[in-house]
Amino acid sequence: AARALAAVPEAALTESQRQAVQRSINEYLASEMTNADRPESWLNIGLLYTDQRQFDPAEAAYRTALELQPTFTQAAVNLADLYRIQGRDGDGESTLRQALERDPRNATAHHALGLLLIRQQRLPEALTALAEAARLGADNPRYSYVYAVALHDAGQSKLAIQMLETVLKKHPNDRDALLALAMFQREAGQFDTARDYARRLATLEPDNPDVQALLRQAL
């Protein structure tokens, strides 16, 4: 409950509600501190402070997690995301690259680095990072989808389509992959194929007006 309510603005709560939320947050923090020798507890504390937009204690918590276990890459990923929120992508990049030196096969860190590089419009470097995330995290369709979209944006539509088709072999009902394939195939002039993907997506989401609009465009 504390985690769920931490992001609610105080102005949206009554005084009694604010007091109740603060009590639950205090209890949550006390509970996590009973395992203060574990990096996972400091990660949870950092997430709570991030939800509250208390950036300094959030950063301190993530850093404590990394001091306890330098290879706890999830804390580094969350720290880099905290820097993103603050407009400090330079610090975020350093954090992620240091994490990858210690844990080079971490798909989540490669993915986070790729997204950061895209924000900085460093597409060739981003493609390298996203490709590694898709390779190492082959069971996570999101990584391959994001890589495919980046390939498409880089003018490599054929390779993007191949990547998405590979996703569908493992995850035949993946919404993002179906939607992207319908759009990319339509752009490539492959209207029959685009229509097939749009129909598959419409079967999964028959009441989605955006999907119905896409299907009409493909007909």
pLDDT band for position 172 (cuts 50, 70, 90): very high
Q: Which of 1-15, 139-153, 193-207 has the lowest mean pLDDT?
A: 1-15
In the prediction, which pLDDT does 44 show?
96
pLDDT band for position 141 (cuts 50, 70, 90): very high
Q: What is the mean pLDDT of residues 83-94?
A: 97
Place of tokens 């931490």: 6
Instruction: Give buried/exposed letters for 129-156 (b at 16+ CB in 10 A, else e).
Output: bbbbbbebbeebbbbbbbbbbbbbeeee
pLDDT band for position 199 (cuts 50, 70, 90): very high
For residue 219, is pLDDT > 70? Answer: no
Rounded distance between C-alpha atoms, residue 12 and residue 28, angstroms:
21
% of the chain at pLDDT higher than 70: 99
In the prediction, which pLDDT does 99 show?
98
* Phi-psi region at 205: left, alpha or beta (left = phi > 0; alpha = psi -120 to 50): beta
In the prediction, which pLDDT does 210 show?
81
Count of CB atoms situated within 10 Å of the CB of 57: 14
Rounded distance between C-alpha atoms, residue 99 and residue 39, angstroms:
15
β strands within 32-173, DSSP E: none
Between the alpha carbon of residue 161 and those of residues 10, 138, 155, 179, 204, the distances in Å are 46, 16, 12, 11, 20
Between the alpha carbon of residue 96 and those of residues 47, 58, 115, 139, 199, the distances in Å are 17, 17, 11, 22, 40
The string of pLDDT tens digits covering residues 6-55 is 778 777 778 888 888 888 889 989 999 999 999 999 999 999 999 999 99
Rounded distance between C-alpha atoms, residue 53 and residue 56, angstroms:
9
Q: Which of 15-29, 72-86, 88-102, 179-193 has the lowest mean pLDDT?
A: 15-29
